[in-house]
A and B are shown apart, each in its own frame.
Chain A
Amino acid sequence: MNKKLTLLLSICSFFLAIYFITPLLIDKKSQTVKKGKEGSEFKNRINNAINDLANQNDKFQLDFLNKDNLYENYSHNYTIKIPEGYTKNDGIGKFSSVQFYNENLGYVAAVNVGSTNLESVNRATNAKIIKEYKNEFDKNNSNLENDFKNSLIERGFNKVTLDNYKIVDYNNRLFIRLNFSAFRTSDNQQKPKSIVNFVTFNKKLIYSFMFVSNQWNSLEKWEYEIQKSMSNVIISKYITKKD
């Protein structure tokens, strides 16, 4: 009887200890990432940045696409290489983003830039923010995931699922790469789509480089197109118009 009681008490104590230690473990992990930052206020500010993506900058676009399909945007100081045969479309509305699309293949590359509450984010701060994002995704932060999903739903997709995510580095700049599966309704038919979104921060802006594919069976070729474009993404104050 005594042994059984000891066994029972020990098991209860063990699981109680886990219950009380878990929040401490979570906090400890968060602290290591947030070290030197303003805690939850900092986290809120970067979460708000995602919502700001829906509200595009209405700044006048000054851009240039050369014959080698290198697109330079002087309003937001970035470059991206657009694959051959893509048509550029600026849209006509206040919140339109710069889009490049290939009608034959059904691929779309879109660049969205939005303002945030962050102050002069440099590469190092961006790296911290991107790692914080990854950390939040690791913790299954449903709010953050929903923010991204909602921004896609706002763009006409439905049944959006976040398949996976990872941190990637292009030209000394960290991005969080988010792979989504979604559908788009066309003539009452659900058409499957794959979406890859690369998000990064610079100064007060959040940049989203989004690639959409119509087809599930040509992902290899699509990935090649993505890598070709992303390897030419540079965000720098020196990307300005020639005098």
Chain B
Amino acid sequence: MKKMKNIFYIIVGSLMIIFSLKSIIIDGSEEYAKFIGLLIFGVIFIYPSLKKDSKTASENFIEESNIKAPIWWKRLIGCLTDFIIILFVYTITIFIIANQFNVRLDKLYNGLVLFSPFYIFYYSLQEYLYQTTIGKSIVKLKVVSVKSDEKPTFFQILTRSLSRLVFFIDIWFFFFKRPTGLHDIVSKTIVINKK
């Protein structure tokens, strides 16, 4: 399973890099943000899988500390609850803007672009302050740093929240035995059960 996971990450990462290079070299695209973003995420994907022991810091931490990682459905419930809350706040905000400015902002800009700040803000703020979110607290989970076994730094939380934006790839971690997502690996954090 571990090997499969690594191969999967390498393929996805390579595709990202190839796609970004193709868009800039062959298509002559001027979307530099997209190019840089894809390139960075591509490297982030590939790097942990090519490491010698091919174990991520999060996985080493789980083994060394003898921690029981939370069951996948716990994280799924937390994730879905948080998503519904963010979606609700986002919809209300867009509705208020439509009334206040007489503009449907979601029609002017890509919905995902508008949704992202809400997503990042929601997770960053709560996980930094309380090491948990509303969704996670329902299923009694909290985020810790694998470096110190304690509260993650702001940078770790920010990295964690930003890497969540690759939602369609990050969500795959639910299908693996040990629920360690891309955002956990990249930010060197781990979600554990609250004592």
Contacts and interface: CB of A to CB of B under 8 A. Distances in A.
Interface stretch (A15-23, A72-80, A148-156): A15-23
B8 interface: no
Contact of B125 (A7, A26, A141): A7
A7 B132 CA distance: 13
Given A3-B129, A6-B129, A7-B125, A22 B101 contact: yes
Interface size class of A (residues with CB under 8 A): 10 to 19
A237 B5 CA distance: 65
A164 interface: no
Interface in A87-142: 138-142
A29 to B, nearest CB: 5
Interface string A161-204: 00000000000000000000000000000000000000000000
A29 B108 CA distance: 7
A30 B22 CA distance: 31
B109 to A, nearest CB: 7
A140 B109 contact: no
B108 A140 contact: no
Contacts of A10: 121, 125
Interface string B86-128: 0000000100011001111101110000000100010001000
A25 B104 CA distance: 12
A229 B107 CA distance: 31
Contact of A140 (B93, B102, B117, B130): B102
A238 interface: no
Interface in A1-51: 3, 6-7, 10-11, 14-15, 18, 22-23, 25-26, 29
Contacts of A26: 101, 103, 105, 108
A10 B93 CA distance: 16
B102 A139 contact: yes
B105 A140 contact: no
A139 B93 contact: no
B129 A25 contact: no
A33 B160 CA distance: 36
A22 B114 CA distance: 11
B98 A140 contact: yes
Interface string B130-150: 100000000000000000000
A76 B55 CA distance: 74
A29 B109 contact: yes
A11 B98 CA distance: 20
Nearest to A13: B121
B102 A18 contact: no
B38 to A, nearest CB: 24
B121 A22 contact: no
Given A3-B130, A139-B102, A140-B102, 4 more contacts: A7-B129, A14-B117, A25-B105, A26-B105
Interface of B: 93, 97-98, 101-105, 107-109, 117, 121, 125, 129-130
12 contacts: A7-B125, A14-B117, A15-B93, A18-B93, A18-B97, A22-B97, A22-B105, A25-B108, A26-B101, A26-B103, A139-B102, A140-B102
